[in-house]
């Protein structure tokens, strides 16, 4: 698996280089070159925020399997999962930070917050969650695999926070009564499941590619993660079906238009090919086959493909709902830059997102290669 790691290092470096343009443009020129705007108010970066934050929450929940619930099979995976949470949470926060018109005023959310705003609650929630991850890693680095009381207590707090923040971002969208397709109670309920699914997908990739435990344990772990993944993918598909069918059968035009935009709009391929075929059907086929799910390369790649599918799913939640005019005739009433209901991310947006992915990938790889307590995990488990 060293070759895979080398390939990932190269891809990470290339992605980071490609991302330099996006970072430069955003930090030194501003938001002029973005394609989101006043009508499609949230674009790729918000979708990526939901995506990365979901992985962080899901990864933390997986870490609790070792440190809180003490599941023997997951011994040795806790640090890897915590480190995954540690690199994906900043990736999420960079993505959403770049989306802010005045990032330099973020301190106001801490010192002058509106406590009833879900956005403020999320900022506070992620700050606490990030602190819990950091502290957990520090304690785990000090105490190795022993689940001390402090670690368990932190895991409990972190578990609750993981559910809170992942459900919270669902609510962040869902509370917008003006966006009929979001305004369903199901949204905050399904986001923690999506988060757990992405956490499991990443762990499947990590264990398959980098797991240094005994082969028998690794194979069992891959199998368990694969079964868990299949269950989560089926649950996700059921939730998607219930969401879409409810919207379509209710016949509310704004709802129906948004769902139609996802399934038959300009970016139908994002839904059918990325989200459904690559992100759901193909992985289910691979992972239910015992031999395939135990294959390191195949299982690892399947995890990545699932993550791509979930990335597309996040985008398909955010963009289409915003692509439906609030009032008929708005699209034609006044024209100008950033006044468009058709959204596809600009080159600069893609660049920055690719850079963030590269940054997170490199941070993860460097961590497991260089941080002593993460390297120790591998050797300890091997023993």
Sign of the dihedral defined by the CA atoms of residues 192, 73, 357, 275, in that order = negative
Of 89, 65, 90, 87, nearest in space to 78 by CA: 65
Nearer to another protein, 332 or 383 (CB): 332
CB of 132 to another protein, least distance (A): 21
Question: Which letter does DSSP use for residue 104 in this model?
Answer: G
For residue 6, how many other CB atoms are within 10 A of its CB?
11
CB of 37 to another protein, least distance (A): 7
How far apart (Å, rounded) are the C-alpha atoms in residues 383 and 366?
A: 23
Nearer to another protein, 174 or 283 (CB): 174
- Cβ–Cβ < 8 Å for 133, 141: no
CB of 327 to another protein, least distance (A): 6
Q: Which residue has the tokens 């299982």?
A: 299
Nearer to another protein, 114 or 382 (CB): 114
CB of 357 to another protein, least distance (A): 23
CB of 8 to another protein, least distance (A): 33
Nearer to another protein, 172 or 381 (CB): 172
H/E segment holding residue 166: helix 149-174
Nearer to another protein, 36 or 267 (CB): 36
CB of 329 to another protein, least distance (A): 4
CB of 246 to another protein, least distance (A): 19
How far apart (Å, rounded) are the C-alpha atoms in residues 15 and 6?
A: 14
How far apart (Å, rounded) are the C-alpha atoms in residues 191 and 105?
A: 28
* Binding footprint of another protein on the chain (CB under 8 A): 30-32, 34, 37-39, 41-42, 99-103, 105-106, 108-109, 112-114, 116-120, 123, 172, 175-179, 322, 325-330, 332-334, 336-339
Residue 53's Cβ-count burial label (10 Å; 0-12, 13-18, 19+) is buried
- Cβ–Cβ < 8 Å for 226, 287: yes
How far apart (Å, rounded) are the C-alpha atoms in residues 158 and 60?
A: 7
Nearer to another protein, 42 or 310 (CB): 42
CB of 354 to another protein, least distance (A): 22
Give the chain's length: 383
Can you read off the two tokens belonging to residue 237?
């598909």
Nearer to another protein, 226 or 316 (CB): 316
Nearer to another protein, 41 or 242 (CB): 41
CB of 85 to another protein, least distance (A): 24
Can you read off the two tokens belonging to residue 232?
């989560």
- Cβ–Cβ < 8 Å for 304, 311: no
Nearer to another protein, 3 or 116 (CB): 116
How far apart (Å, rounded) are the C-alpha atoms in residues 201 and 285?
A: 15
- DSSP SS3 for 241: helix
CB of 26 to another protein, least distance (A): 12
- DSSP SS3 for 28: helix
Nearer to another protein, 36 or 271 (CB): 36
- Cβ–Cβ < 8 Å for 302, 283: yes
Q: Which residue has the tokens 């986001």?
A: 191
């Amino acid at each position: 698996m060293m070759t895979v790691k080398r390939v990932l290092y190269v891809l990470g470096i290339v992605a980071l280089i490609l991302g330099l343009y996006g970072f430069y443009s955003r930090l030194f020129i501003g938001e002029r070159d973005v394609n989101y705007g006043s009508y499609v108010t949230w674009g790729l970066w918000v979708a990526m925020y939901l995506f990365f934050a979901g992985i962080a929450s899901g990864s933390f929940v997986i870490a609790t399997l070792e440190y809180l619930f003490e599941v023997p099979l997951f011994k040795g995976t806790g640090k890897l999962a915590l480190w995954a949470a540690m690199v994906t949470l900043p990736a999420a926060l960079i993505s959403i930070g770049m989306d802010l018109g005045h990032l330099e005023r973020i301190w106001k959310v801490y010192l002058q917050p509106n406590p009833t705003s879900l956005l403020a609650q999320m900022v506070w929630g992620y700050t606490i969650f990030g602190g819990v991850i950091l502290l957990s890693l520090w304690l785990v680095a000090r105490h190795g695999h022993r689940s001390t009381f402090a670690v368990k207590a932190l895991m409990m707090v972190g578990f609750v926070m993981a559910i809170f923040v992942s459900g919270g971002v669902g609510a962040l969208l869902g509370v917008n009564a003006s966006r009929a397709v979001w305004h369903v109670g199901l949204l905050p309920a399904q986001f923690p499941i999506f988060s757990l699914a992405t956490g499991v997908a990443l762990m499947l990739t990590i264990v398959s590619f980098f797991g240094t435990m005994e082969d028998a344990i690794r194979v069992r772990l891959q199998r368990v993660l694969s079964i868990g993944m299949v269950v989560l993918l089926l649950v996700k598909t059921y939730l998607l079906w219930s969401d879409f069918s409810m919207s379509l059968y209710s016949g509310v035009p704004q709802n129906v238009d948004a769902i139609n935009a996802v399934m038959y709009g300009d970016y139908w391929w994002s839904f059918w090919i990325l989200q459904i075929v690559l992100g759901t059907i193909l992985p289910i086929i691979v992972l239910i086959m015992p031999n395939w799910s135990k294959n390191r390369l195949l299982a690892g790649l399947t995890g990545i493909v699932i993550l791509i599918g979930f990335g597309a799913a996040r985008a398909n939640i955010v963009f289409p709902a915003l692509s439906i005019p609030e009032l008929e005739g708005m699209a034609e009433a006044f024209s100008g830059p950033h006044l468009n209901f058709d959204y596809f991310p600009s080159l600069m947006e893609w660049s920055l997102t690719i850079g963030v992915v590269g940054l997170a990938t490199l941070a993860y790889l460097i961590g497991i290669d260089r941080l002593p307590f993460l390297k120790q995990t591998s050797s300890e488990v091997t023993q």
